[in-house]
């Protein structure tokens, strides 16, 4: 199956997508925040890094790879782009990711340094030093190996954000078994397709996790996923977290506390080639089938470590770093697990939601651990803004010295609030643009170097070549808008889509020749700084989570009531975008009395949660009689987005039947009629 990035604009679709709250005035943004002299004097990043990297980009990365990563066999080759778009970095070097993240810090005398301050939702805590982590990871690696997991085998991980999630990822890396973490909020259905695609041999899960003050089960979803058939899976390892009862399959299921606790605490990390796959992470694309993005070891670790050190100005001896992402997303992979641990950081991980048991929970955690660097998503910042400044103001946040943002465009007002209320008007903010595919941060200010502008990710990092181009791949002038592209390979670049090299080429490299097309729209301001404007394809961004319109449409039409569905991402003040679905019901259902509007909404929302996960639930489902289509049958989502955002409907002249939009608008104006359409 292949997918094409959204074709450019013959229908008059704007290159710049909707969404991006508050960005319409971006080119008139005048506020500037130069680094303070004190910060600049102590910063890890220096302005000369750009020139150094520009002079010899591969050489710059080779220097970083030697400096920040330990190799059991040093590499002599740096970049191999001869088989573009398939890339190899540091290919003749050998190393182990878990050794780099854990053991070498213990060997360097830092075994007593705290690696993880774990805070459970219910307030239970655990502290793991680097020495503890070395022991735990070694035990888990031995236990996995005893279950037959070997180098190259895939392990699916379906866990809450508890220390075992980090330990499991590192134990896999230690064996050279690529991990595939599936976010705990995904359904059994989603889990099943990911297990099947990766042909995982082991699944690591928990009885459950704590969510909004209650235990929330995970093991039943694994049982359900495996009941659909998963011939590759031989074992399921289960962490006891909540103590809730679980069904047990003898011979297949194994308790973590039995297998891991009994295992030896010494394990020799397996040396792998630099290009050995470290992990697969599934993400939404423009088709219904999620893509297994895979990353390899040497290049990924190099860029993870470099960016974490420089973008967050990490000082491993003194900083307390906290990235609020779950390990189910790329941000959790690179900036909870590999980046911070490679750099020997002390960090906080928190299992729960920001408002359990109260809306000051995050700020209480910052105060309790003296967090110095905080990395979170705009949607969280906007939610806290809505709750009010008086909540964070009750806590001592003076330890904070760098604030980061990721996952979606941050609107200038949220940026200003973050800086003022959370950062005490003192901290630099780094708005970091990157993707699951890029593996690590690509565009971001450097604290202590860059004069920041609220709302802009600004400049490609040293060693990264990004541009904004028009339909013909020509760079747009300052002040112009177009497509964000990456014009040179980078170390933590995805190496492909698991099992589907053609789809990799089609998705990222076919829109512009030999240039990586990111799927985002962007503008350059008068200084040439980059402003991200959201996706230009059929990918939505809800609370910083990537969702595919097609995937949700497929989920909707798999329900017996639904004949046809179209999904759009409508601007939402808090979540950036929200899922809005338009459905045509099957004739018999539409005529029946059972399906009133509320029942349809509820039934279909529950169905989407079951098929994909609660994060994909539409905010709104509108029952319509027709969908707007071009003569070639393509749904014109642009028009539906106008409806969903209560705008004047745009140019509908290319519709096969231009009266459709009137019908839809009329149907919406009379809500009672909606269900009988």
Nearer to ligand WTA, 78 or 307 (CB): 307
- Two structure tokens written together for 144: 């996995």
Question: In sequence order, what are the beta bridge partners of 281?
Answer: 293
Q: Which is nearer to ligand WTA, 176 or 534 (CB)?
A: 534
For the CB of residue 435, give the shortest distance to ligand WTA in the complex, in Å: 4
In b/e form, how buried is each residue of 304-341, taking b as 16+ CB within 10 angstroms?
bbbbbbbbbbbbeeebbbbbbbbbbbbbbbbbbbbbbb
Phi and psi torsions of 599, nearest 5°: -65, -40
Pairing of strands 202-206, 155-158: parallel
The smaller minimum CB distance to ligand WTA, of residues 120 and 544, is found at: 544
Q: Tell me whether residue 126 is annotated as binding.
A: no
* Residue of 461, 456, 520 whose CA lies nearest to 485: 520
Picking from 36, 126, 101, the residue whose alpha carbon sits closest to that of residue 427 is 36
- On whether 535 is known to bind a ligand per the annotation, the reply is yes
Q: State how far the Cα of 13 lies from the Cα of 249, in Å rounded to an integer.
A: 53
The nearest distance, CB 541 to ligand WTA, in angstroms, is 5
Is 134 labeled as ligand-binding?
no
Q: CA 242 from chain center: how many Å?
A: 26
409 marked as binding residue: yes
On whether 214 is known to bind a ligand per the annotation, the reply is yes
Beta carbon of residue 359, minimum distance to ligand WTA (angstroms, whole number): 25
CB of 281 to ligand WTA, least distance (A): 9
Q: Is 520 annotated as a binding residue?
A: yes
* 55 within 8 A of 479, measured Cβ to Cβ: no
Is 433 marked as binding a ligand? yes
Say whether 436 counts as a known binding-site residue: yes
> How far from 283 is each of 181, 213, 289, 325, 497, CA to CA, in Å?
11, 29, 9, 15, 10
User: Which of 604, 594, 592, 598 is CA-nearest to residue 562?
Assistant: 604
Question: Is 490 assigned to a binding site?
Answer: no
546 marked ligand binding residue: yes
Q: Which is nearer to ligand WTA, 136 or 431 (CB)?
A: 431
Cβ(270)–Cβ(98) below 8 Å: no
As measured in angstroms, the least distance from the Cβ of 378 to ligand WTA is 8
CA-CA distance, 334 to 303, in Å (whole number)? 9
Q: How far apart are CA 160 and CA 373, in angstroms?
A: 23
Residues paired with residue 406 on neighbouring β-strands, in sequence order: 432
Shortest distance, CB of residue 338 to ligand WTA, whole angstroms?
A: 14
State the minimum distance, in angstroms, from the CB of residue 328 to ligand WTA.
Answer: 10
- Tell whether residue 511 is among the known ligand binding residues: no
Q: Which is nearer to ligand WTA, 408 or 467 (CB)?
A: 408
Q: Smallest distance from the beta carbon of 425 to ligand WTA, in angstroms?
A: 22
The reply, when asked if residue 562 is annotated as ligand binding, is: yes
Q: How many residues does the chain have?
A: 677
Contacts of 231 (CB under 8 A, 6+ apart): none
Q: Residue 567 Cβ, how far from ligand WTA at the closest point, in Å?
A: 17
Is 211 annotated to bind a ligand? Reply is: yes
Residue 373 · residue 321 · CB < 8 Å:
yes
Kindly tell me which of 577 and 675 has the beta carbon lying closer to ligand WTA. Answer: 577
**Contact set with ligand WTA (CB under 6 A):** 283, 329-331, 406-409, 431-436, 457, 518-520, 532, 534-535, 541, 546
Residue 29 DSSP one-character state: -
Q: CA–CA separation, 271 vs 280, rounded Å?
A: 19
**Left (φ > 0), alpha (ψ -120 to 50) or beta: where does 603 sit?**
alpha
Any binding-site annotation on 213?
yes
Task: Classify 397 as helix, strand or coil.
Answer: coil
> Rounded CA gap, 419 and 427, in Å?
7
> Smallest distance, Å, CB 221 to ligand WTA?
22
The least CB distance from residue 557 to ligand WTA, in Å, is 25
Each as own residue / partner, the long-range contacts of residues 31-38 (CB below 8 Å, 24 or more positions apart, any chain) are 31/412, 31/416, 31/453, 31/454, 32/451, 32/452, 32/453, 33/419, 33/428, 33/429, 33/451, 33/452, 33/453, 33/454, 34/451, 35/428, 35/447, 35/448, 35/449, 35/450, 35/451, 36/426
Q: Which residue lies nearer to ligand WTA by CB, 20 or 343? A: 20
CB of 634 to ligand WTA, least distance (A): 22
557 is in an annotated binding site: yes
Per the annotation, does 315 bind a ligand? no
Phi, psi of 509 (to 5 degrees): -120, 5
Residues annotated within a binding site for ATP? 407-409, 431-436, 520, 535, 546
Residues annotated within a binding site for CoA? 211-214, 331, 543
Residues annotated within a binding site for Mg(2+)? 557, 559, 562
């Amino acid at each position: 199956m292949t997918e094409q990035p959204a074709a450019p604009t013959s229908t008059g679709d704007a290159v710049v997508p909707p969404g991006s709250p508050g960005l319409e005035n971006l080119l008139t943004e005048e506020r500037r925040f130069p680094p303070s002299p004190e910060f600049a004097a102590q910063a890890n990043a220096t302005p000369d890094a750009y020139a150094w990297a520009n002079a010899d980009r591969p050489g710059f990365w080779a220097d970083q790879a030697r400096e920040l990563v330990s190799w059991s066999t040093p590499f002599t080759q740096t970049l191999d782009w001869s088989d573009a778009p398939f890339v190899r970095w540091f290919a003749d070097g050998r190393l182990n990711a878990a050794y780099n993240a854990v053991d070498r810090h213990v060997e360097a005398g830092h075994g007593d340094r705290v690696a993880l301050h774990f805070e459970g939702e219910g307030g239970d805590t655990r502290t793991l030093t680097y020495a503890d982590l070395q022991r735990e990871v070694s035990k888990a690696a031995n236990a996995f190996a005893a279950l037959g997991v070997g180098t190259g085998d895939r392990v699916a991980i379906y866990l809450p954000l508890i220390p075992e999630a980090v330990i499991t990822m590192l134990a896999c890396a230690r064996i050279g078994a690529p991990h595939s973490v599936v976010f705990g909020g995904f359904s059994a259905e989603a889990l099943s397709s990911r297990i099947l695609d990766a042909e995982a041999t082991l699944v690591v899960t928990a009885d459950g996790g704590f969510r909004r003050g209650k235990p929330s089960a995970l093991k039943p979803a694994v049982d359900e996923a495996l009941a659909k058939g998963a011939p590759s899976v031989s074992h399921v390892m289960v962490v006891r977290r909540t103590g809730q009862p679980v069904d047990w399959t003898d011979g297949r299921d194994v308790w973590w506390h039995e297998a891991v606790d009994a295992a030896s605490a010494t394990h020799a990390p397996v040396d792998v080639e630099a290009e050995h796959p470290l992990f697969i992470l599934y993400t939404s694309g423009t088709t219904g089938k999620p893509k297994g993005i895979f990353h390899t070891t040497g290049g990924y670790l190099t860029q993870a470590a470099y960016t974490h050190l420089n973008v967050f100005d990490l000082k491993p001896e003194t900083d307390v770093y906290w990235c609020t992402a779950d390990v189910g997303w790329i941000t959790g992979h690179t900036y909870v697990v590999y980046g911070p641990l490679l750099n020997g950081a002390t960090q906080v991980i928190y299992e729960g939601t920001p408002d359990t048991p109260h809306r000051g929970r995050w700020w209480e955690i910052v105060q309790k651990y003296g967090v110095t660097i905080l990395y979170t998503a705009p949607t969280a910042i906007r939610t806290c803004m809505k709750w009010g400044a008086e909540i964070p103001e009750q806590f001592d946040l003076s330890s904070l010295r760098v604030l980061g943002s990721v996952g979606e465009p941050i609107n200038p007002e949220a940026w200003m609030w973050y800086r003022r209320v959370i950062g005490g008007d003192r901290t630099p903010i780094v708005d970091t643009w990157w993707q699951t595919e890029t593996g690590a941060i690509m565009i971001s200010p450097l604290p202590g170097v860059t004069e920041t502008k609220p709302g802009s990710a600004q400049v490609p990092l040293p060693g990264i070549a990004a541009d904004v181009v028009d339909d013909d791949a020509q760079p747009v002038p300052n002040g112009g808008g177009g497509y964000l592209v990456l014009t040179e390979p980078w170390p933590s670049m995805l190496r492909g889509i698991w099992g589907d090299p053609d789809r990799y080429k089609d998705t990222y490299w076919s829109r512009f020749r030999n240039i990586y097309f990111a799927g985002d729209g962007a503008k350059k301001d008068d200084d040439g700084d980059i402003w991200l404007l959201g996706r230009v394809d059929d990918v939505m961004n809800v609370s910083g989570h990537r969702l595919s319109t097609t995937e949700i449409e497929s989920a909707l039409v798999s329900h017996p009531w639904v004949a046809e569905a179209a999904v759009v991402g409508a601007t939402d003040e808090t979540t950036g975008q929200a899922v809005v679905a338009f459905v045509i019901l099957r004739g018999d259902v539409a005529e029946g009395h059972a399906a009133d509007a509320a029942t349809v909404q509820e039934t279909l929302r529950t169905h989407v949660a079951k098929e994909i996960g609660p994060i994909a639930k539409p905010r709104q489902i509108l029952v319509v009689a027709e969908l707007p289509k071009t003569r070639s049958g393509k749904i014109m989502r642009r028009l539906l987005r106008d409806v969903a955002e209560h705008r004047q409907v745009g140019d509908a002249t290319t519709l096969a039947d231009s009266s459709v939009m009137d019908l839809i608008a009329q149907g919406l104006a009379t809500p009672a009629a909606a269900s009988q359409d």
